[in-house]
Chains A and B, each alone.
Chain A
Amino acid sequence: MKTSLSMIPIVSPPPASRASTATAPLSSTALASPVSPQRPRVEGIARVVAVDCVDGERVWLEPEQTTSCGGCAAASRCGAKGVGTLASRLEARRFPLSANVASPPLRIGERVVIGVEERSLVRASLTAYAIPLLTAFAAGGVAEGLVGSDAVTMFAMLGGLGAGLLLAGGVARRLSARGELAPRYLRRARADESCSTDSTG
């Protein structure tokens, strides 16, 4: 538990889309514009792991996370990528960024500080969790009122949950299209800067 929790407050490297199944479109504005400095944001450190081979204008970043023992974090560099390891989880959370947000352009191996607006995290949580729960309880309440059987209520809630998840997917796609779930480039990370360092100085 302690191991896992050590990475949480850092939160970090928010989303966009995955390298393997890039589905969430990132608008060019979302890729290039820095986070408004007035708004509170959640920051994290990511490492450039690949450059788009077609035009070289897009780079893929992997969130950098540490654990208290460092064992799993080391796995991401030593090639031990079993199912469920931190390395495989980080690979699944790769996201793209325009290489030209920084000058000179970002290159493989560089570490950068990325950020997402604080309200985006709460909005994403509400979309992913509150909508499915609301539809599940609505369906369960209707089934309980009409039939009153536990089995029927259970299946109605499951149906409501499924419908809510689909609805949440639609809302998330709309948010993604507006660039609200996309991480923004803030600056290059200092050599001694880590997820646990106070990057605000």
Chain B
Amino acid sequence: MKELALMMVGAALVNNVILARFLGLCSFMGVTTRIDTAAGMGMATTFVITVSSMADWAVQHYLLDAYGLGFLRTVTFILVIASAVQFTEMTIRKVSPSLFQMLGIYLPLITTNCAVLGVALLLVEGKLSFLASTLFAFASAAGYSLVMIIFAGLRERLALAQVPRLFAGPPIGFIVASLLAMAFMGFSGISTG
């Protein structure tokens, strides 16, 4: 239990998908102009990463490993992720058209989010059990959402601040992102030796 908790903290904060592994940077810069849109995108991505990691685990163990098809891993995972996104979209549309109307916009974008594929490939290296790999994926996605929301909050405040014209817009956004990444480095500790 303790190992699972530590693994989740590590996946969410120490090895954060965005700030430590540099995955999902497109959405990090593109969808963080408002907190609510960042939260919506973060939650949608969390759901898709978790569901696709469950499917990826099954495919890896019962298909790729079983038949020695490891060389097809990346292609297969891309297919699984696209299917997971499509499944999520169809299910939400069926279960609640109202929710689909409001949230459907985020789902197709997730298919091309490299964080989803990155987490799936990391899980293969980890050789974890089904529950552990799903929790790892969930924690990684939660870390992604956390950073998205924090960065969106910072950008909302930046929009009200007086920024020199040369730095206005994306430049100051990149500077803030680098400061945020340095702050997250604190979770991994600073080596003095």
Contacts and interface: CB of A to CB of B under 8 A. Distances in A.
B92 A154 contact: no
A153 B54 CA distance: 11
Contact of B101 (A15, A118, A153): A15
Given A125-B44, A168-B99, 6 more contacts: A8-B37, A9-B37, A11-B34, A124-B102, A128-B92, A150-B130
Interface residues of A, number: 61
Contacts of A9: 30-31, 33-34, 37
Interface string A147-180: 0001001100110010001101100110110000
A42 interface: yes
A93 B131 contact: no
A90 to B, nearest CB: 10
B99 A133 contact: no
Contacts of B65: none
Interface stretch (B11-19, B66-74, B106-114): B106-114
A4 B39 contact: no
A8 B96 contact: no
Contacts of B135: 137
A82 to B, nearest CB: 15
B36 A157 contact: no
A6 B91 CA distance: 26
20 contacts: A4-B112, A5-B27, A15-B99, A16-B101, A18-B101, A24-B97, A24-B98, A93-B101, A121-B37, A121-B39, A122-B40, A124-B102, A125-B40, A129-B43, A132-B47, A153-B131, A154-B54, A154-B58, A172-B98, A175-B98
Q: Is the interface of A mostly helix, strand, loop or mixed?
A: helix
A185 to B, nearest CB: 16
B144 interface: no
Given A128-B96, A157-B134, A173-B96, A133 B50 contact: yes
B129 interface: yes
A118 B40 CA distance: 11
A2 B26 contact: yes
Interface of B: 26-27, 30-31, 33-34, 36-37, 39-41, 43-44, 46-47, 50-51, 54, 57-58, 61, 91-93, 95-106, 108-109, 112, 129-131, 134-135, 138
The 8 closest A-B pairs by CB, nearest first: A15-B101, A5-B30, A172-B96, A169-B95, A24-B98, A129-B47, A150-B130, A125-B43
A84 B37 CA distance: 23
B108 A17 contact: no
Contact of A21 (B97, B129, B138): B97
Nearest to A145: B131
A142 to B, nearest CB: 11
Contacts of B57: 154
A125 B36 CA distance: 10
Contact of A141 (B30, B112, B131): B131
Given A118-B36, A150-B130, A154-B130, A15 B98 contact: yes
B103 A128 contact: yes
Contacts of A130: 43
A161 to B, nearest CB: 7
A23 interface: yes
A1 interface: yes
